[in-house]
Amino acid sequence: METPSAASESPPTPTPPTVIAKPAPPAAAPAAAPGTPPPPFNAPRATVEPRPNVALIDRTTPPEDLWQRMRQGFSIPDLDNALVREKTAYYAARPEYLQRIFDRSRMYLYHIVEELEKRGMPTELALLPMVESAFNPMAYSRAHASGLWQFIPGTGKRFELKQNWWYDGRRDIVDSTNAALDYLQYLYEMHGDWHLALASYNWGENAVARAIAKNKAAGKPADYAHLSMPLETRHYIPKLQALKNIINNPEPLGIVLDPIPNQPYFATYTKLRDIDVQLAAKLADMSVAQFMALNPGFSRPLIRASVTPRIVLPADKVDTFHENLQKLDEKSAVSWATYSPKKGDTLESIAKKHGMTVSHLKEVNGIPPRSRSLPSLMVVPANRNTAVAMTRLPIMYAPPIPITYRRIYHTVKPGETLTSIARRYGVTLEDMKRLNPKGAVVGERVTMEVRAAGKSKSKGKPRSQPKGKPKKTAD
């Protein structure tokens, strides 16, 4: 803290002026004869040290490294508790895992940081997809949450993310980022607190509102630290804080943070017509995997311009794509056709007719591997000659196949607990606690989510569920 200057102190009480006699001027020294050297300098000597250099940050010049740009925009109050230290140690002990996330994020971070700064939002929110999806745009949860920002279908529709057979806007890089930032802004305006906003993003805005109301009614503090919330949500913000700590100062933790150029990685192209995914990638001089990493919203190997008239390409590939597209005959841009199954058709007969394997036919049409059902609309090769040359979409970026769940209920009997009921029905205790916050009350029903596909072979009980978590529901 600086000491106050003399100008800021209270003025002293005035005193009568004192008259001081001026001393007589010294007698002038006799003039030296011309050519006589001056006398030696006998006054006190002072040594002046050079002023040390002061490190300055030039805010008028954008930093070359995107990480540094992000650091300058960090503004959410820091958390410092045991959970944060635990999560920081967890990530620091897994440098290979962190490196994979950082490598994937390079394609998307500039766009996200740019959008955050346009809105005046904290830039550490750009790290949220590391927690949500590990920056995998095809991440798909048990609760049907999808994309970098993990929107469930209902919240996606609420924020105008298109979801149809051809395209899923929850996975679209540009659209999902806009929707996520809209939602985060809305939640911050609701609470006036970023920790509560983030808890609402994970747990649900109404759930957090009810927890706040409950604390207020009990006369307890209603801030994030004092709310009762699910374990997953309690760990959610410490994970973000841990990643922020690592990005802010990676060296002491032994983390190597390769610079990311502070410039756009991708641009959008809107003069599109119907075209195969495989061909679009070829025209941009990209692999299919690279193309799908920037265009994960497409669910079929055929891009329908009437459904989505925009694609995303690396900034340095846009001109190449445009030039090659202009040279292309429109009829040769599409090697897939739509097909409506007829009476008597089977998956085997349709696959054989179009020169495909059944597994490939299922994959490109989003049909679950064990399903025998035929959708009302399918895509198939336009002719048998082109079917052999078609490249399968990379598994990492293959369209997600939804798993259908249904809710069942059980009336609690004396001696039963959530743990015993979860074990009996083959569901996770975490899910049981999420769906039944009051616990197991004798005589009351508890809720469970099980696969709609039927029963397991053992004891006629529902199949156990893959581990998942609730995602951005209003409740």
pLDDT confidence of residue 279: 92
Q: Which is it for the CA torsion 140, 142, 145, 149, positive or negative? A: negative
- The DSSP code sequence of 27-57 is PPPPPPPTTPPPPP--S-----PPPPP----
Rounded to whole angstroms, the Cα distance separating 440 from 89 reads 35
pLDDT confidence of residue 168: 92
If you count them, how many residues does the chain have?
Answer: 475
Pairing of strands 302-303, 378-381: unpaired
Which residue has tokens 């349709």? 350
Rounded to whole angstroms, the Cα distance separating 379 from 363 reads 10
Rounded to whole angstroms, the Cα distance separating 473 from 141 reads 13
Query: In a structure prediction context, what are the per-residue pLDDT tens digits for the chain, which is 475 residues long?
Result: 443 343 444 444 444 544 444 455 555 555 555 556 666 656 566 555 655 554 444 556 789 999 999 999 999 999 999 999 999 999 999 999 999 999 999 999 999 999 999 999 999 999 999 999 999 999 988 888 999 999 999 999 999 999 988 899 999 999 999 999 999 999 999 999 999 999 999 999 999 999 999 999 999 999 999 999 999 999 999 999 999 999 999 999 999 999 999 999 999 999 889 999 989 999 999 998 899 999 999 988 899 998 888 999 999 999 999 999 999 987 788 989 999 999 999 999 999 999 888 988 888 888 888 888 898 889 999 877 666 555 566 543 444 444 445 678 999 999 999 999 988 887 778 778 878 889 999 999 999 877 544 333 333 333 333 333 334 433 3
C-alpha separations of 225 from 187, 189, 205, 244, 415 in Å? 17, 19, 16, 19, 34
Structure tokens at 11: 């003025």
Structure tokens at 391: 């490249």
What letter represents residue 417's amino acid?
Answer: T
pLDDT confidence of residue 365: 87
Rounded to whole angstroms, the Cα distance separating 36 from 39 reads 9
Rounded to whole angstroms, the Cα distance separating 328 from 349 reads 33
- Identified catalytic residue from 124, 132, 363, 449: 132
Q: Give yes or no for a contact between 241 and 198, defined as CB atoms under 8 angstroms apart.
A: no
Pairing of strands 311-314, 266-269: antiparallel
Rounded to whole angstroms, the Cα distance separating 227 from 319 reads 53
Rounded to whole angstroms, the Cα distance separating 288 from 286 reads 6
Q: Which is it for the CA torsion 54, 60, 66, 69, positive or negative? A: positive
Q: Give yes or no for a contact between 269 and 284, defined as CB atoms under 8 angstroms apart.
A: no
pLDDT confidence of residue 42: 62
What letter represents residue 203's amino acid?
Answer: W
Query: How many whole angstroms from its chain centre is CA 115?
Result: 13
Q: DSSP secondary-structure letter at 274?
A: S
CB atoms within 10 A of CB 202: 25
- Catalytic residue check, 160: no
CB neighbour list of residue 188: distance below 8 Å, 6 or more residues apart: 194, 197
pLDDT confidence of residue 422: 86
pLDDT confidence of residue 19: 46
What letter represents residue 165's amino acid?
Answer: W
Structure tokens at 86: 């635990």
Rounded to whole angstroms, the Cα distance separating 331 from 124 reads 47
pLDDT confidence of residue 107: 96
Dihedral angle, C-alpha 123, 129, 130, 133, nearest 10 °: 180
Rounded to whole angstroms, the Cα distance separating 439 from 433 reads 7
pLDDT confidence of residue 449: 76
Radius of gyration of the chain (CA): 33
Q: Which is it for the CA torsion 137, 140, 144, 149, positive or negative? A: negative
Angle between helices 194-203 and 205-217 (to 10 degrees): 120
pLDDT confidence of residue 46: 56
pLDDT confidence of residue 226: 95
Which residue has tokens 């569901």? 427
Angle at 467 between CA 108 and CA 400, to 5 degrees: 50
pLDDT confidence of residue 55: 45
pLDDT confidence of residue 54: 47
pLDDT confidence of residue 13: 46
Q: Identify the H or E element spanning 128.
A: helix 128-132
Structure tokens at 468: 């998942």
Q: Is 91 helix (H, G, I), strand (E, B) or coil?
A: helix
Q: Is 298 helix (H, G, I), strand (E, B) or coil?
A: strand
Strand partners, 455: 462
* Long-range CB contact pairs, 40-46, < 8 A, 24+: none
Q: Is 379 helix (H, G, I), strand (E, B) or coil?
A: strand
Q: Give yes or no for a contact between 148 and 173, defined as CB atoms under 8 angstroms apart.
A: yes
Q: Identify the H or E element spanning 213.
A: helix 205-217
